[in-house]
């Protein structure tokens, strides 16, 4: 099973996911090819981050005033609802999850039943939590793999993105975005000279950047 103690606090994780989505957006014009996506909070709706590797695995993260919840799905995991003869969520994955956070997953686009692990942190908690689950020897819920797709540092993002998007990236500019510096026309041009700058700025505004 994967370790999740390294996860930042919800506010920091929210910003981190937004930054990665912004970088993906700049580097890749086609939305469906992007690895990281982010939808900011609108009205009463929670902010939502999504990681999708295009191979059947995904990670959703919902951020709300009551806390944050992560729902991951590794399609090769033996804990997948598809792994047995009957389609069923592995016992215990959601059993201890606070309802106020579990309800955030009640969205058709999130595919609540497609799950191999769930992690949450209520407002006021001092650590992330996971339900008590009986897992067979040798089984893997995919959390180590999927949580590893959250690039905690600019160096990690650059190492990954240069391979995934087949580009060379200036680390200092990526570091600046991680540190909260505003994304300007010159920033976009330095990262992706072929990108439509005005269109990119509009998309960045849509994700709250």
The reply to whether 2 falls in a domain is: no
Mean pLDDT across 167-184: 97
- The H or E element containing residue 205 is helix 197-206
Domain ranges, residue 151: 10-206
154 is written with which tokens?
């600019």
- pLDDT value for 41: 83
Structure tokens that stand for 96 in this block:
């201890």
Average pLDDT over residues 105-133: 94
Task: Using alpha carbons only, give the angle 38, 41, 45 rounded to the nearest 5 degrees.
Answer: 115
What is the C-alpha separation between 89 and 79, in angstroms, rounded? 8
Q: What are the helix and strand counts (H, E) for the chain? A: 7, 6
1 within domain boundaries: no
Mean pLDDT of 14-36: 96
In-domain check, residue 3: no
Q: How large is the angle between the packed helices 197-206 and 10-27, nearest 10 degrees?
A: 160
Evaluate if pTM is beyond 0.75.
Answer: yes
Q: Look at the chain and report how many structural domains it folds into.
A: 1
**Does the pLDDT value for residue 2 go beyond 80?**
no
Residue 174 lies in a domain: yes
User: What span, in angstroms and rounded, lies between the C-alpha atoms of 107 and 88?
Assistant: 18
Tell me, what's the pLDDT at 4? 86
Among residues of the chain, what percentage have pLDDT more than 70?
Answer: 98
CA–CA distance, 14 with 96 (Å, rounded to integer): 23
Q: What is the mean pLDDT of residues 68-82?
A: 95
pLDDT score, position 43: 66
Rounded (5°) CA angle 188-192-196: 70
Report yes or no on 37 lying in a domain.
yes
Q: How confident is the model at residue 86 (pLDDT cuts 50, 70, 90)?
A: confident
How many C-beta atoms surround the C-beta of residue 191 within 10 A? Answer: 20
139 pLDDT band, cuts 50/70/90, is confident
- The mean pLDDT value for 130-157 works out to 92
Query: Is the CB of residue 41 less than 8 Å from the CB of residue 47?
Result: yes
Residue 120 lies in a domain: yes
Q: How confident is the model at residue 203 (pLDDT cuts 50, 70, 90)?
A: very high
């Amino acid at each position: 099973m994967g370790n999740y103690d390294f996860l930042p606090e919800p506010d920091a994780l929210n910003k981190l996911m937004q930054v990665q989505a912004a970088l993906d957006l700049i580097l890749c014009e086609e939305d469906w090819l992007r690895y990281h996506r982010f939808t900011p909070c609108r009205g009463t709706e929670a902010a939502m981050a999504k990681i999708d590797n295009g191979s059947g695995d995904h990670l959703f993260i919902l951020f709300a005033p009551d806390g944050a919840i992560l729902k991951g799905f590794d399609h090769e995991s033996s804990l997948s609802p598809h792994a047995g003869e009957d389609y069923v969520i592995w016992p215990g994955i959601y059993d201890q999850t606070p309802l106020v956070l579990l309800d955030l997953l009640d969205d058709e686009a999130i595919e609540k039943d497609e799950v191999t692990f769930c992690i949450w942190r209520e407002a006021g908690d001092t650590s992330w939590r996971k339900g008590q689950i009986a897992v067979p020897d040798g089984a893997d819920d995919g959390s180590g793999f999927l949580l590893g797709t959250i690039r905690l540092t600019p160096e990690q993002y650059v190492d990954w993105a240069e391979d995934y998007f087949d580009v060379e990236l200036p680390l200092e500019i990526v570091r600046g975005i991680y540190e909260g510096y505003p994304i300007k026309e010159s920033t976009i041009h330095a990262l992706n000279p072929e990108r439509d700058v005005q269109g990119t700025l509009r998309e960045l505004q849509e994700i709250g950047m």
